[in-house]
Amino acid sequence: MRTAVYAGSFDPPTNGHLWMIARGLELFDRLIVAIGENPSKTYTFTVPHRIELLRASIPPHERLSIEHFDNRYLVDYAKKMDAKYIIRGIRSSHDYEYERVMKHLNADMAPDITTVFLMPPRDIAEVSSSMIKSLTGPVGWEDTVKRYVPGPVFEALAKRGA
């Protein structure tokens, strides 16, 4: 069974994340969406809320699980979950350079785990969770943000009074 891990902060989940999950399910027998925490980041939503938002945004699938991992390297988490693949999204040349370095570091730590890069389509390629957070707040933000996030995420942002 080919198992892959797709990790990120998902704060908040975007349509780009959903695209990556859908492609991951097409390519692998099992996909683990792993919500990580970076101590240097400030989060809008708690981990349980991010898990809830992802579950509300993705139809249930028997080959998909949404988990949380904390305070460990991604490759160590992948090994623990018996995953031989890590999928990463590439939106720009900046992403590529960062992910290329991480791929090599991960390969040094776990040569048996393969990193697979996926590029989302143009209409969602520029969207990141950070961008969504920066777009919320000004008058009319709803019309802009609504096209880039799933319905449950938009509702959660609106409820927060973004």
Give the pTM. Answer: 0.93
pLDDT for 73 equals: 93
Residues 81, 62: Cα–Cα separation, whole Å: 16
pLDDT for 162 equals: 53
Q: Tokens for 112?
A: 């048996």
pLDDT for 121 equals: 93
Query: Which residue segments constitute the domains of the chain, with CATH numbers given?
Result: 3-159 (3.40.50.620)
Is residue 38 a contact partner of residue 70, using CB atoms and an 8 Å limit?
no
pLDDT in tens, the chain (162 residues): 999 999 999 999 999 999 999 999 999 999 999 999 888 888 999 999 999 999 999 999 999 999 999 888 999 999 999 999 999 999 999 999 999 999 999 999 999 999 999 999 988 888 899 999 999 988 989 999 999 999 999 999 999 865
**Residue/partner pairs of 148-153 with CB below 8 Å, 24 or more apart:** 148/14, 148/15, 148/16, 148/124, 149/12, 149/13, 149/14, 149/15, 150/13, 150/14, 150/15, 150/18, 150/53, 150/56, 150/57, 151/57, 152/53, 152/56, 152/57, 153/12, 153/13, 153/14, 153/53, 153/57
> Helices (DSSP H) in the chain: which residue ranges?
15-27, 47-57, 74-80, 93-109, 122-125, 129-135, 141-145, 151-159
Residues 65, 25: Cα–Cα separation, whole Å: 11
